[in-house]
Amino acid sequence: MEHTEEKIIKKKKNQSGCCSAHEEHKHTENEGHDHDHDHDHDHGSSGNMFQMFLPAIISFVLLLIGIGFDNYFPQSWFSGYVRIGWYIVAYLPVGLPVLKEAYESITKGDVFSEFFLMCIATIGAFAIGEYPEGVAVMLFYTIGENFQGLAVSRAKSNIKSLLDQRPDEVNIIENNVTTKIKAADVKIGAIIQLKAGEKLGLDGELMSDTASFNTAALTGESKPATKKKGETVLAGMINGNTIAQVKVTTDYKDSKLSRILEMVQNATTKKAPAELFIRKFAKIYTPIVVYLAIAICLLPMLFVDNYVFSQWLYRALVFLVISCPCALVISIPLGYFGGIGAASKNGILFKGSNFLDSISTIQNVVMDKTGTMTEGVFKVQEVIIYHDVNKGEILKMVNALESQSTHPVATAIHNYVGEIDTSIELKNVEEISGHGLKAEINGKELHVGNFKLMDKFGINYDLDPNEVVYTTIAIAYDKKFAGYLTIADEIKEDAQETVSKLKALGVQVTMLSGDKTNVVQFVARKLGIANAFGDLLPEDKVNKLNEIKAKNQTVAFVGDGVNDAPVIALSTVGIAMGGLGSDATIETADIVIQDDKPSKIPMAINIGKQTKKIVWQNITLAFVVKAFVLILGAGGLATMWEAVFADVGVALLAILNAVRIQKMKF
C-alpha cells in the first residue's frame, strides 16, 4: 500500500478522482501513482475546503435527521422503504467515491485495499438493517480521509514553496534590447536583467556593482545578503530594490537550485526502515484480517448452540472496520515527510527519509576545518621572502600559478598580490593532491604549497613549520626555498555553539584537516574539540574515519571540498556544506546544509530524533488501540462506533501527532 503522499509533485485529485486542468498542465512530467489502489490523500491541495467537505456535510445532515426520526421525533411515514431509501441517499455522497476506488483497485489486482474493507463493512451493515451505523462508518472514514489530505498538504507546503522558486522565464539583454525567453533556453554567458523583487532563474556572476538578495529559498535565512560585482548569485535568489544584471555561468539544468529540487523530489524514494516495514506489513496484514473476519462470522456456527448469523456478521463487520490499516499507512510516511519539510524550512536538505533515521542515532560527528568550521575566506597575514629573491617577481609568479587553482588560498593570494601578470608563461602545471602546485617558468621549476611539497621534492628549508601558528604556504624556485606566506581563516560565529550542542546530544566531535597540525589544534582548542588531526591527505581522512567505524560506531562526516567526497561516501551519514561546497561533495552527501552554518548539524540530528520519536509513537498508538478494540469486537463487546474510533479516530490522532514536528522549534 504505497501512498502517493510520498510523491512531492503529482496530479492532485479530489475524492471523485478528478484533476484540474491547471494542475495537470503544471505537473504533468512528475505525475503518477505509487499507491497500489491509486488513492491520493492530497485532497486539500486545491484550497477549496467547502467543496472538499460538502459530500460529508450532506451525509452528516441526512444522518442526523434520520437518527432524529428514528429516536427522538418518530414519524409514521419514516419506515420501510422510505427509511431504507433515506439512509441510502445519506450514504451515497460519501460512499460512491469509496465504492469507485474499491472497484478500480480490484480491477488492478489489489483486492484487499482499505476501500474494500470499508465497502464490505458498510454494505454488510445495511444488509443486517444497521443503516445509521453503515452511513456513520463511511461518513467518519471520509472525514478522516479529508483531514489526512489537509495534513499531507500542510506537510508538503514547505517543500512546495521551494519548488515554486525557479521562474520559467527570464529577461535577457542583447544589443541593449531586453527579451523575455524561457530560462531553460538561456545560454552560458548571456546577461539577465533582474527587476526589483524578481527571482533569478539561473546561477551566475553579478555584473552590477552591488545588489541585495533574499536567499531564504536556498538557505532558510531571512536576512538579505549583499553581493558585490563578480560574486556568485544563485537561481532562486530574489533581487532587492534595485535593477541588477547577472552573467549566466551555469546551464539551467545544472544550477544549484535545479540540483536542490532534484534532491527534494527524490527524497521520498529512499524509505526509512519503518516505512518499508509498514508497506510490507499492510500487504500481508489486510488479507489476513479479511479471512479472520470471515472466520469470526462462520466458524462459531460449529461451536455455538444459539448461533445467530446476523450477530456474528455484525461482529465480523466491526472487526473489519477496526482492522483498516489506514492509520499506520498514512501517518508513518506523513511523519517522515513532516521531518523532511521541517528540515527544508530550516535550510537542511535530507535526500531520503532513511537518513532522518540514520542521523538520529549518530554517535560521532567528524568534520573538516576549512569551510566547515571556519569561513573558508583566507587573508594573507605576512609575507617572508628571502633577500636573495626579488619579492615582487616571485609573488607575481606565485599569483600566476595559484590562478590555476580554485582553492580559497589561491583567492587570498590573488587578493593580496593583485592582477595576474599575463606575460608569465606557465608550462607543465601540475596539482599534487594534499601538497600544492608545481609548474615550469623560464625553464625553472616553481613549487607553491605546504612543507610536505618541499619534502617531496627534496627542497631544504631552515625553519620549523610547527612554530608558525597560521597556515603556511611555502615557495621554492629553481629547487631553492624562496620564503613563505602565512594565511589565516576566521572561525564561524556559530562554530563554538555547534560543538557545545553536539556534546549536549552525547555526540563525540572530531576534526580532520589537511591544514597543518598546529593550526588545526589551535582552532580545535578554541572550539573545545578534544580530538583534532592535521596534515592529513584525503586517504588519511579515510583511514581516520575507518578507525572510528571499526569500533562499531555510527559516524557523520561534514565537509565541503572535493577531497571530502570519499570520506562523505564512506560515513554512515554524509553532510555537505551546500553554499560553498563543491558539486562532487554535494552530490555524494546524504544531507546538504544550504547556508553553510555548522549549527545546522545538531539541528539536523534533533529533527531526526524528533521525527523518529513521533513515528514510533504513532506505530505504538495504532497497534495498541487497534489490538484492544479488535479483541472487544471479536467478543461482541464493541460496536461500530468503537470501531470508527479505532480506525478514523486513531488515524486523526496519529496525523495530529505527525504534524507537530512542523510546529517545533529546533
Contact 399, 417 (CB under 8 A): yes
Q: For residue 463, what are the contacts with CB-CB under 8 A and spacing of at least 6?
A: 484
> Pairing relation of β-strands 508-512 and 427-432?
unpaired
N-term to C-term CA, the chain: 32
Contact 103, 120 (CB under 8 A): no
- Rounded Cα distance between 650 and 622, Å, is 6
Contact 10, 30 (CB under 8 A): yes
Record the cell numbers describing residue 34, joined without a space: 505509487
- Rounded Cα distance between 163 and 49, Å, is 23
- Rounded Cα distance between 342 and 432, Å, is 42
Residue 374: closest CA among 410, 409, 414, 399: 409
E strand residue ranges, 137-294: 169-174, 177-182, 191-194, 204-206, 210-214, 225-228, 232-233, 238-239, 244-248
> Pairing relation of β-strands 444-449 and 436-441?
antiparallel
Phi then psi for residue 250, to 5 deg, are: -140, 140
In sequence order, what are the beta bridge partners of 508? 364
- Rounded Cα distance between 171 and 411, Å, is 32
In sequence order, what are the beta bridge partners of 436? 432, 449
- Classify the phi-psi angles of 423: left when phi > 0, otherwise alpha if psi is within -120 to 50, otherwise beta: alpha
HSE-up of residue 165 (Cα within 13 Å, Cβ side): 29
DSSP annotation of 13 reads B
- Classify the phi-psi angles of 109: left when phi > 0, otherwise alpha if psi is within -120 to 50, otherwise beta: left
Phi then psi for residue 630, to 5 deg, are: -60, -45
- Rounded Cα distance between 335 and 327, Å, is 12
Per-residue three-class SS string for 318-377: HHHHHHCCHHHHHHHHHHHHHHHHHHHHCCEEECCHHHHHHHHCCCEEEECCCCCCEEEE
Catalytic sites, residue numbers: 368
